[in-house]
Amino acid sequence: MANTWIIAVEPEIAALVEHGRAVGGSVVAVTVGGTPVAGVDRVVDVPLAEGVPAEAAAPAVAAAVAAEAGDVVLAANKPAERVLAGAVAARLGAPYLHGLKKIGQGSAELSRFGGIALETVSFDTAVVAVLDGGAVPEGEAPAAEAASGEYYEATVTGQDKVDVSSANLGSAKRIVAAGRGFKAEEDLKLAEDLAAAIGAELACSRPLAEGADWMSADRYIGVSGQSVAPDLYIAVGISGQIQHTVGMVDSKVVVAVNNDDKAPIFEGADYGIVADLYEALPAIVEAAK
């Protein structure tokens, strides 16, 4: 039976564990620097000296991932994990599955053409994929086995830190997404109030992140941005072009608020409110309270 190997620099790997359970075999986490991870069957830890970046452990991590034919190697879509996953793929001579949606023993479903189409592929070799890691799994972390191996010579000599707020949209259960229907940046307070009232993350369509620069890029949902699958997705002032909807098509319930009753967003919505968002949002917030 095929096994799953998870490369973990940080503990947010719940989505990776879920994919690993779908494969059916054991789920083994290869951690770096003593990162505690739960939800897995076994942990192999690659030690990391103080001041050494996780990327320097790439040779040791690659050696610790003893994947065999049919096994799956997963890593969170983060800078250090991407480097380590690349080292593992190179050592194994394994293909990289881009746009992974579902995976099982010997087969996977991949998103293609920006999410417009799905492709099913089969494999009998080890494969590597990088995707959103999700939240921190529940449960206790198993005792780690120590691994050894070679390291690159690298140390961190200085850091410039900037305090920024980041969004973990991949694991959000509720999302309020704002679009070009908002006339001014300060008007986003209406969407923020709604998100706060229902315990949701705030997101946006591409123009607000890459055009108006009202929100950070990690909150942009769409073909070249984030892909999400929350229980509830509220699209406010978003027309619903395919460049956006491919990023939220897996949402369980979609609510659209738009003053244009012919907006494409209503075609894929479970509930639609044809109204001016400046009148609708305060009413919805009041009802939510």
- Beta-carbon neighbour count of residue 66 at 10 Å? 13
* Structure confidence at residue 281 as a pLDDT band (50, 70, 90): very high
Mention every residue, 6+ apart, whose C-beta is less than 8 A from residue 82: 75, 130
* Structure confidence at residue 262 as a pLDDT band (50, 70, 90): very high
Q: Report the pLDDT value the prediction gives residue 208, as an integer from 0 to 100.
A: 96
Q: Are 194 and 280 in contact (CB under 8 A)?
A: no
Q: Report the pLDDT value the prediction gives residue 107, as an integer from 0 to 100.
A: 93
| pLDDT > 70 in the chain, percent | 98
Q: Tell me what the pLDDT averaged over the chain comes to.
A: 92
What CATH number should be reported for the domain whose range is 169-288? 3.40.50.1220
Reported as half-sphere exposure (CB side, CA atoms, 13 A), residue 89 has a value of 16
Check whether domain 4-146 has CATH 3.40.50.620, yes or no: yes
Q: Report the pLDDT value the prediction gives residue 163, as an integer from 0 to 100.
A: 58
Q: Report the pLDDT value the prediction gives residue 164, as an integer from 0 to 100.
A: 55
Range 163-181 average pLDDT: 84
Collapsing DSSP to helix, strand or coil, 273 comes out as strand
How far is it, in rounded angstroms, from Cα 74 to Cα 66? 13
* Structure confidence at residue 168 as a pLDDT band (50, 70, 90): confident
The DSSP 8-state label assigned to residue 224 in this structure reads T
**Predicted confidence (pLDDT) at residue 162 exceeds the cutoff of 70:** no
* Structure confidence at residue 114 as a pLDDT band (50, 70, 90): low
Are domains 4-146 and 169-288 of this chain identical in fold? Answer: yes
In this predicted model, what pLDDT tens digit does every residue of 74-110 receive, in sequence order? 999 899 999 999 999 999 999 999 888 889 889 999 9
**Predicted confidence (pLDDT) at residue 154 exceeds the cutoff of 60:** yes
Give 216-220's long-range contacts (Cβ < 8 A, gap of 24+): 216/164, 216/165, 216/166, 216/167, 218/166, 218/167, 218/169, 219/167, 219/169
**Predicted confidence (pLDDT) at residue 184 exceeds the cutoff of 70:** yes
Reported as half-sphere exposure (CB side, CA atoms, 13 A), residue 14 has a value of 12
* Structure confidence at residue 233 as a pLDDT band (50, 70, 90): very high
Domain boundaries of the chain, sorted by first residue: 4-146, 169-288
Residue type, 152: Y
Q: Report the pLDDT value the prediction gives residue 117, as an integer from 0 to 100.
A: 81
